[in-house]
Structure 1
Amino acid sequence: MSEAMGMLLAAEPDLPTIDDFLPRGILFQGTPFEINRIILIRIVATVLLLVVLGITAKRAKLIPGRWQGVVEMGIDFVRDSVVYQIMGEVRGKRYLPMISTLFFTIFVFNLCGIIPGMNMAATATVVMPLVFAVWVLIQYWITAVREKGLWGYIRDECFPKGVPWPVYILLAPIQLCELVLIRPASLTIRLFANMVSGHLLVATTLAFAQYWVIESANKLAGIPVGMLWFLFGLVLTLFEAFVAFLQAYVFAILSTVYISMSYPED
């Protein structure tokens, strides 16, 4: 009796842990070129994105078909609803390729979290969001130096006009910290945290569904409970698809805003 109870208590759902985001190497273990599951997902997603966009561009027609129309709709969305809306057409043309690359790459990388066989967002570790954020950081500093000069940019941001000079003692370090650390950190943490939490929520609901349907000792009660967990997991999966788009959109919007703020005020 006690042995049976022990087996029943030992049968628990296989819940996701933080170790899911630190997978073992698959290729080139122990070298600087080690490839694990998440890196492999990034490589596959990047190749697929390049192939799809490359084939679409190669077969582009004056009167677009359905697929070309979908791709052009996405590009038009980034151009009109993100870049041009914030920066205007004149300034926006320079940064449209960059913001479009950020949006589509982050969107596809995020979607990997709900694609069967991948089941892990390529942005679910801090490195990839940080790379995107550093790219934005470099771009808005380059823009600022080109438009205002290095000292002109730092002066305008850290020592705004109309502020009593004693306030600069506190304001200047805060503003400089925002330019160098807070902006890229906010971009990184927002994207990374949303993808990690989404993966944990979806994986947890599906783990409970598997447990109640397959591993539960009481099948009569377990199957209905498991189906409820499965439906909940399906709803969260659809919500994750929306979050994948939303986080790519927010990242693109904030990147455009930060670059636009580096220009002199009209």
Structure 2
Amino acid sequence: MLIVVIGTIVIAAFFYAAARNPRLVPGKLQFAGESAYGLVRNSIVIDSIGTKYGKKFVPYIVTLFFFILALNISGIIPVLQFPASSKIAIPAFLAIISWIIYNWVGISRQGFVGYFKAMMFPPGVPWPIYFLLAPLELFSTFIIRPFTLALRLAMNMFAGHLVLLLCILGGEYMLTEGTGALPFLSPIGFLGGIILTFFEGFIQILQAYVFALLSALYIAGAMEAEH
């Protein structure tokens, strides 16, 4: 929970400082904030939902991306060294928020009946297929989507954390407790830990991007009939 609080404060402080004194010719901090904001806005929200409908969802998706990123990156920050998003409750809560938003958008745009009809009975499908397709689509939209959103993020962070622990603690054990040739092999464990730390950093950024992108795509899909 301390990591969640610290991550929230750091992200909020960064964007507050970047937008505090906006100038026509931005300074370094303002440029960094605008670039970070613009990257998520353009490459995730606008590309997925479109300019007309996407603007209202930019604040949520930007907040979602950087909040998850902060919790992920904590896994490779010295002293902290624990990805808070590896605790399933946090990704699950974020997935529920996205679930509420995209279902609310679909119902408000298409109407309650229209939303479920478009979801379960897409046009152009032979009617006998609906007996199989309709429950699958309902199950996918209401159960599978939030479940996979949460599980994908949590398990990637959990597995990456375990691999780093295995390399570092394995190297330490060979160095301090090993006999024979094991102490001389300990640098392999430490080197693997260093290499995998950079790889894990890439995965942490990627998983934040995937979570935000899928949330945007689900919102876009719920608005499909409106488009």
Structure-1-length-normalised TM-score: 0.81
Match of 2:193 in 1: 233
Whether the aligned pair in 1 keeps the contact of 2:7 and 2:71 (CA below 8 Å) is: yes
User: RMSD between aligned alpha carbons?
Assistant: 1.4
What letter is aligned with 2:95? A
- Residue of structure 2 aligned with 1:243, choices 154, 179, 203: 203
Moved over 3 A (4+): 221-224
Please name the residue that 1:203 is paired with.
165
Q: Which has the larger radius of gyration?
A: 1
- Number of equivalences: 226
- What is the alpha-carbon distance in structure 1 between the residues aligned to residue 11 and residue 29 of structure 2? 14
SS at match of 2:96: helix
Does the alignment pair 1:253 with 2:213? yes
How far, CA to CA, are the matches of 1:224 and 1:69 in structure 2?
A: 48
Corresponding residue for residue 112 of structure 1 = 74
Q: Deviations over 1:65-90 (max 9, x none)?
A: 22322222111111111111121111
State whether structure 2 residue 222 is matched by structure 1 residue 262: yes
CA contact under 8 A between 2:64 and 2:212: conserved in structure 1? Answer: yes
Give 3-state SS (helix, strand or coil) of 1:261's partner. Answer: helix
Question: Which residue number corresponds to residue 89 of structure 2?
Answer: 127
Unaligned runs of 5+ in 2: none
User: For 1:161, what is the secondary structure of its paired residue?
Assistant: coil
Q: Indicate conservation of the 8 Å contact 2:174/2:182, yes or no.
A: yes
Tell me, in whole angstroms, the C-alpha distance in 1 between the residues paired with 2:41 and 2:7: 23
Gaps of 5+ in 1: 1-38
Question: Which residue of structure 1 aligns with residue 139 of structure 2?
Answer: 177
Question: What is the rounded CA distance, in whole Å, between the counterparts of 2:4 and 2:187 in structure 1?
Answer: 32
Q: Which deviates more from structure 2 when the two are superposed, residues 56-65 or residues 231-240? A: 56-65
C-alpha separation between the residues in 2 aligned to 1:167 and 1:87?
29
Q: Distance in 2 between matches of 1:153 and 1:44?
A: 40
Q: How far did 1:223 drift?
A: 4.2
Partner SS for 1:119: coil
Task: Verify the 8 A CA contact 2:19 2:33 in the aligned structure 1.
Answer: no
C-alpha distance after superposition, 1:92-124 (max 9, x if no partner): 101000110111111111001111111110101
TM-score (norm. length: structure 2): 0.94
